Chain A
Amino acid sequence: MKFDDKVPIYYQIKTHLYHEMLNGQLTAGAQLPPVRQLAVDLTVNVNTVQRALGEMITEGTLTSQRGKGNFVTTDTTRLAQLKDQLVMAQLAQTYDQLHAFNLTDAEILTSLKQYIEKRGIAQ
């Protein structure tokens, strides 16, 4: 995995895991690889992985089972909430950028619709 060195690595690991949780690579209740394995896969050190996982456990997207490892939460409302958060964050980013091009809300909506339709045809 490639990291943007400006952003704390633990934060990027969290984002990476969120994406896997939402795109279905990590389903609800799925077990995560051991911390060291994750560290090797992502080429980051164990402490950094631990920090990312620690924060995810605190916020409830992961659960830790003593002696067994870490799992994606089975709490589907929590996962839905996470999805909302990420969608919102992504939208906010896109919206801000388009807004910066001096587009009105109505224009943004139209452009988005057009874009979706075009993609639909292309596929």
Chain B
Amino acid sequence: MSTALSIQNLNYKRNRQVILHDGQLTLSTGKIVGLLGENGAGKTTLMRLITGNAQGQGVIKVGDSSDVMHRKQKTSFSDHLKGFDKSTKINQVVKFYQTVYPDFSNDRYQEMATFLQLDASQKLTALSKGTKEKLIIALTLARQTELYLLDEPFSGIDSMSRKQVISSILKWTPDNATLLISDHYVHEIASLLDEIVVVKDQTIAVHKGADEIRDQLGVEIEDYYESLYEVGGAADDK
């Protein structure tokens, strides 16, 4: 199986504070991977480092390219659309994506938009949290890339929307693409995941197969995840 993402000796500081140190991670193609960790642990930062929008030290490769421009091309990150005016309509956002991403498939987008009941004439400012997440998922998955980074796609949305978002992820993730989904609740996505990665103590602390946890340790992923945070737990404290 080939490698979708490899990270070696990743270090990242900001304002003279260490955010991530000695990060090592290799993800193989075609996996759905949960990126877990507490709020502020550095999950979003890790994703931004992968896209090159945060600049750290170390080697990050998407597929076989470490060059930032190629990484951006091979990665579809769930942008929260802050670069658009609030009065921008959904169809204008779609037009933007179509213009700047050669790998954006309008057909795929339209299928998802129908499934998720997105109204193209709505303005960004009028969207509920759930609808906005649906739009972001549709835009992100409408690009056809090797790696998808979904940053907290379920935070603050109702359970109906969550189900629809999960279904679209399963339906529209291309074969052989790798998906990294960050979330601080593992429970709602546990059944989707092949593997979990935990960011803790400013580093990539854990990378394990989901069935490895269930098979070998005989525990729920959620329990395993929580056990990492218990005093004297599995992870090494400095």
Contacts and interface: CB of A to CB of B under 8 A. Distances in A.
Do any beta carbons of A and B sit within 8 angstroms of each other in the complex? yes
Interface of A: 3, 5-10, 36, 39-40, 42-48
A110 to B, nearest CB: 36
A6 B216 CA distance: 11
Q: Which of A7, A9, A10 has the most CB of B within 10 A?
A: A9
Contacts of B187: 5
Contacts of A3: 190-191
A47 B175 CA distance: 10
Interface in B192-216: 192-194, 210-211, 214-215
B219 interface: yes
Contacts of A47: 30-32, 194
A42 B170 CA distance: 10
B220 interface: yes
Between B163, B173, B187, the greatest number of chain A beta carbons within 10 A of the residue's beta carbon is seen for B173
7 contacts: A3-B190, A5-B190, A39-B170, A40-B171, A42-B191, A44-B192, A47-B194
A5 B220 contact: yes
A45 B194 contact: yes
Nearest to B218: A6
- Which of the four size classes fits the interface of chain B? 20 to 34
A40 B191 contact: no
A6 to B, nearest CB: 5
Given A5-B220, A36-B170, A36-B171, A43 B191 contact: yes
Given A36-B171, A43-B191, A45-B194, 13 more contacts: A5-B187, A5-B191, A5-B214, A6-B214, A8-B211, A8-B214, A39-B170, A40-B171, A43-B167, A45-B32, A45-B193, A46-B173, A47-B32
Tell me the interface secondary structure of chain B in the complex: helix
Contacts of B191: 3, 5, 9, 42-44, 48
Given A45-B194, A48-B194, A5 B167 contact: no
B64 interface: no
Contacts of B194: 45, 47-48
B32 A5 contact: no
B170 A43 contact: yes
The 5 closest A-B pairs by CB, nearest first: A5-B220, A8-B211, A8-B214, A45-B32, A40-B170
B211 A5 contact: no
B139 interface: no
Contacts of B90: none
A7 B167 contact: no
